[in-house]
Amino acid sequence: MTAIIAPGATIGIIGAGQLGRMSAVAAAELGYRTHVFAPEEDGPAFQVAARHTRAAYTDERALKAFAEACDVITFEFENIPKTCVQWLAARAPVRPGWKSLATSQDRIVEKTFLNALGVATAPWRAIHGGEDLCAALKDIPERAILKTARLGYDGKGQIRVDKDTECASAWAALETTSAVLEGFVDFKMELSVIVARGPDGATAAYDPVENRHVGGILNTTIAPATIPATVTTEATAIAEKIAQALDLVGLLAVEFFLTPDDRLSVNEIAPRPHNSGHWTQDGAVTSQFEQFIRAVCGLPLGSPARHSDTVMKNLIGGEADDWLNILGDPDNKLHLYGKHEARPGRKMGHVNRLHPKGSSLDI
C-alpha cells in the first residue's frame, strides 16, 4: 500500500470538534474530501465535511461503513476506545496510529514512556486508591496535583492535594479507578512545540511558543516564546525525539514547563493539531492544519517558518459574542467554530493578531 494518498481521496476524521473542523477545511483546500465520524448531534466539523456519520464509537456496523468510505483515517482528539481504533486499522490506514493514541490517552502510560526515553517530567506516582495516594504524598509531600489517568482536559479531572489532604475523600472526589499524583514544578513559563512527521520519517517543527492559562484553560499563545536559543533547540529536539519514538505520522504537540534556570520538563503530549498551534493559521507559511493533512496523506511537508510574530487569544464562552467589535479592528484575524451554544469554559473561537518579526509584543 502506497504511503501517498492523492488529492481527490477521502480522509476520515474521528471526532467532530473544532480541530476536526479546521482540519477538514485545510483538507478541502488541498483537494480532499472529508468524512467525519462522531456520536454528537451537531459537531462543528459536520458543518464543513463532505459527509458525516453520527454513531457511537462502538457501533461496528457504522465503523465498517466508515472505513470502507475512507482512504485514510485520523483523529482530532484522544479519547477514543481502543476497540474502535483497532477495528478501523484492520480496514484502512489509521494515522498517526494506535501507539501514539494509546500513549497519549493515559497519563500513566505517557509518563512511563517519556521517562523511559530519558525525557524529564514532574515527579509523579501512579495512584489506584486512597492508600496509594497517602503513600505517594510521603514521597511528594509539598504541593501536588491529583489527575485522572484518562479523560481529563482543560483543568477537568484534577484536584490539588498536599501532605495534610484526607486521602480517602480526595480519591473519592476524583471518581476514577486510576490517576497520577504530580508534584508541582516551579516554572517561569509554559511552552509548547508542534512537530509534523511524515510516513518517510521526515519532520518539520514550528517555533516554540509561550502559553498562558486562565482557570486551567489556554487563554493566550505568544509566538515565538521569548527564550534562549539553547532552549529552542532543546525543546525542538525533544519533540522530534518523541515523535520518532512513537513512529508518529501526523502532528505531535508537546507541552513543557520551563524552570527559572531554563530546564525543561514535559507536561503532556497530544498526537493531533493543538490549541497552541492556532497561531500558525495566519502567522506561518504552512498552518498546522494543512501540515496535519500533508503528513497524514504522505505529501511533502510544508515550511513551518514563522513569517510574523503572532498573539493568539482564545474566545471562551460569551467572549465570542463580541465578534463584530473584533472584526472592527482590521488587523484581527477571527476564527469562529460554529458552535450554537456558548457555555462557561467552552472554546467558541480564537483571534490571531500579527506583528512584524522581532517586535515587542504587547499582550
Binding-site residue positions: 107, 147, 152-158, 182-185, 190, 213, 267-268
Closest CA to 252 of 220, 296, 299: 296
Cβ atoms 79, 17 nearer than 8 A: no
What SS3 state is found at 322?
A: helix
CA distances (Å), origin 75, targets 15, 86, 304 = 6, 13, 21
Strand-pair category, 179-183 with 217-223: unpaired
Q: In whole angstroms, what is the distance from residue 350 CA to residue 289 CA?
A: 15
| Secondary structure in 3-state letters for 250-309 | EEEEEEEEECCCCCEEEEEEECCCCHHHCCHHHHECCCHHHHHHHHHHCCCCCCCCECCE
Cell of 272: 493531533
Instruction: Count the neighbouring beta carbons within 10 Å of the beta carbon of residue 239.
Output: 26
Long-range contacts of 36-42 (CB under 8 A, 24+ apart): 36/12, 37/12, 37/13, 37/62, 37/63, 37/66, 38/14, 40/16, 42/340
User: DSSP states of 222-248 as a string?
Assistant: EES----HHHHHHHHHHHHHHHHHHT-
Q: Under 8 Å CB-to-CB from 146, ≥6 apart: which residues?
A: 127, 133, 158, 159, 160, 161, 170, 171, 174, 179, 180, 181, 182
Known binding residues for ATP: 107, 147, 152-158, 182-185, 190, 213, 267-268
